[in-house]
Every structure is written in structure tokens, then in C-alpha cells.
Structure 1
Amino acid sequence: MIILGITGSVGMGKTEAGKYFIKNNIDVFDCDKEIATFYNKKDTIFEIKKNFPSTIHNNKVDKNALANIVFNDKSKLKLLEELLHKKLQKEQSFWLRKKIREKKNLLVFDVPLLFEKDNIKKYDFVMVLSCNKALQRIRVLKRQGWNEERYEKTLKEQIPDYTKQTLADIIIKSDRGKRYLNQEIIKIIKEVKNKKNRKIHEILKEF
């Protein structure tokens, strides 16, 4: 089995790349999507209510209010990350084992903070998405709940794009159109599948 990690700074096109992997019949574990589901679960709501009581309204998490708190207080950000990371690790491990039973030979993990927070040994290859700074900014500021301040603070919390590119095995530019992106991903799938597979027990040891 081959494990490919995809990452990149905020607004670099990770989600779009993930869609093209899925389109080409490769299963993708999207960390952001998985975390989004946690906020609707009773155990997460309970934990957030205990630590961030002002962000709960009608037993629902106000994610914008939560973002405002954690991006202005590093200790609160660390607390939230620890809370969510434990749940995420559990779900990643469960998903991986399911795909092993299905005898998949290539899996993709979309991990926004792969270099910053994750264990790089999990992955056989790491692919970094990148684009020009102007497009990156436009993409992010279109998102609900985002503004210049949040954007700049997020960038400061992340390893710079140029550094990520030096750490990557594969680099894809996401500002060259959807057709280019799909063609590059098809090429990467073929190349990666021809590489030597890691043994299952070696993969599970890292997860």
C-alpha cells in the first residue's frame, strides 16, 4: 500500500485536488471535512461547552465565535487543537483499517497542517499544492467568516509556502486551471502506483 499526503497553505487548492483524486477513483480522507463533522457530535459539543462556553448557542457550536477566540489566544488554540486532534487520529486509524480490508493500494490524506502538526512518517510521499499569492488571498477572503486579520494570523501560524515546497516530494501549481490539475493528478497516480509498496504493519505502526 502507498500513502500519499497532500497539504499546502490556506487557499492553495487542497480541496480541489482532493476532488480530482476521488474523480480518478482514489479514496481521500479529508481532515477538514472530518473535523467539521465533529462539531455536530454530542461529545465534542460537551467538550467545547466546558472550555469555550460563550461559543455554544442552542446547543450548537458557533464556529465563527470559536475562531475569534482561538485566533486571539494561542493557549486556547492549543487547547482546541488537542481536543480535535485526538478525535481525528481515531477516525484516521478507523478509516485506514477499513480501506486495508477493502484491499486498496493507494490512499490519500488531505492534511492542512501536515508539516506543522502531523507525523510525516505516515506518508510515503507528500504532495504540496501551491499558487500565486494574489489568487490565494482572493480564495480565502471569499470564504464565510474570513477577513484580512484572520487570513494574516493563519498565515503566521503556518510554515511558509516556499518552505513547504522544499520539503515536498511532489509540487502542483493550482493556478493553471482545472484541466491542468486533473492531468497532473492522473500522472501522479500512475507514477505513485508504480513505486514500491510499504507493508501494512509498517503503515499501521505510524498511525
Structure 2
Amino acid sequence: MFILGITGSVGMGKTEASKYFLKNNIEVFDCDKKIASFYNKKEIIEKIKVSFPSIIKKKKIDKIGLAKIVFSDKQKLQFLENLLYKKLKQEQSFWLRKKIREKKKIVAFDVPLLFEKDNLRKYDLAILVSCSKEIQKRRVLRRKGWNESRLDKTIKQQLSDHKKRELADIIINTDRGKKYLLYTIITIIKLIKTKKVRKINEILKEF
């Protein structure tokens, strides 16, 4: 099996790139979507309620309110990340083992903080999705609940795009249109198919 790690800062086009991998039969574990699903789980709501009682409204988590709190307090952000990432790692491991049983040759993980928080040894190839700062800003400010202040705080919590470019094996630029994005991803998949794959037991050691 060959494992891709796809990453990129908010608004860089990571989700769009993942869609094109899916269209080319590469299944993708979306960490953002999985974490979003945790906020609907009773066990997570109860744990968050203890530390952040003000953001529980009608038995649901006010995610915008929670973001405002944690991005203003590093300790609270660390607490939330520890809570969510522990469960995320479990879900990643379950999903990967399922794909191994299904005999998938290539799979991908869409990981927003791959370089900051994850173990790079898990992946055979680290792919950075990137674009210009101007396009990033324009994309993000269209989203509900986002403003320049939240965007700035989010970016400051992550490695710079310049540093990520130094760490990545491959860089996908998403400011050149969808046709270029599709062409790039097809080229990457062709490249992967020429690569030697790791043994399953070697992969599972990292997960």
C-alpha cells in the first residue's frame, strides 16, 4: 500500500484537490470532516462542556464561539486539540485497517496540520496544496463565520506556507484553474504507480 498525506493551510484548495483524488479512485480520509463529526458525539460534547460551558447551546456546540475562545488562549487550544486528536488517531487507524482488508493499493489522508502535529513517517509522500495569499484570503472570507481576524489567528497557529514548501515532497498549486489541478493529480498518481510500496506491517507500526 502507498499512503499519501495531503495538507495545506485554510483556503489553499486542499478539499478541492482531495475531490480530484477521489474521482481518480484514490480514497481519502478527511480529517476536518471527521473532527466536525466529533462535535455531534455526546461523549465529546460532555467533555467540552466541562471546560467551555458557555459555548453549549441547546445541547449543541457553538463552533464559532469555541474557535474565538481557543484561538485566544493557547492552553485551551491545546486541551481541545488533545481531546480531538486522540479520537482522530483511533479513527484513522480503524479506517486504514479497513482499506487494507479491501486491498486498496493507494489511499490518502487529508491532514490540515500534517507538518505541525502529525507523524510524517506514516506517509510515503507529503503533498502540499498551495496558492497565493491573495487567493487564499478571498476564498476564506467567503466562508460563513470567517473574518480577517480569525484568518490571521489561524495562520499564526500554523507553519508558514514557505516552510511547508520546504518540507513537502510535492507541491500542488491551485491558483491555475481546475484543469491544471486535475492534470497535476493525474501526473502524481502515475508517478506513485512506479514507486515501491511498503509492507503492511511497516505501515501499521506508524498507525
2:2 matches 1:2: yes
Matched letter for residue 94 of structure 1 = F
Who is 1:31 aligned against? 31
Identity, % of aligned pairs?
Answer: 67
Shift of 1:193: 1.9
1:5-24 matches, within 5 Å, as 5-24=5-24
Give 3-state SS (helix, strand or coil) of 2:66's partner. helix
2:71 matches 1:71: yes
Matched letter for residue 173 of structure 1 = N
Shift of 1:71: 0.7
Give 3-state SS (helix, strand or coil) of 2:127's partner. strand
- Supply the distance in 2 between the matched residues of 1:91 and 1:136 (Cα, whole angstroms): 29
Who is 1:97 aligned against? 97
Gaps (5+ residues) in structure 2?
Answer: none
Q: When the two structures are aligned, how many residues end up with a matched partner? A: 207
Runs (4+) off by over 3 Å? none
- TM-score (ref. length: structure 2): 0.99
Shift of 1:8: 1.1
- Supply the distance in 1 between the matched residues of 2:158 and 2:11 (Cα, whole angstroms): 12
Matched letter for residue 5 of structure 2 = G
Matched letter for residue 29 of structure 2 = F
- Supply the distance in 2 between the matched residues of 1:76 and 1:43 (Cα, whole angstroms): 18
Shift of 1:183: 1.1
Who is 1:168 aligned against? 168
Matched letter for residue 14 of structure 1 = K
Shift of 1:78: 0.4
Who is 1:187 aligned against? 187
Shift of 1:194: 1.5
Shift of 1:10: 1.5
Identify which range, 42-51 or 74-83, moves more after superposition.
42-51
1:81-160 matches, within 5 Å, as 81-160=81-160
- Supply the distance in 2 between the matched residues of 1:199 and 1:143 (Cα, whole angstroms): 41
- Supply the distance in 2 between the matched residues of 1:190 and 1:99 (Cα, whole angstroms): 20
Shift of 1:34: 0.4
- Supply the distance in 2 between the matched residues of 1:151 and 1:73 (Cα, whole angstroms): 16
Shift of 1:166: 1.0
CA-based RMSD = 0.7
- TM-score (ref. length: structure 1): 0.99
Q: Deviations over 1:102-130 (max 9, x none)?
A: 00010100000000000111001000011
Give 3-state SS (helix, strand or coil) of 2:156's partner. helix
- Supply the distance in 1 between the matched residues of 2:35 and 2:194 (Cα, whole angstroms): 32
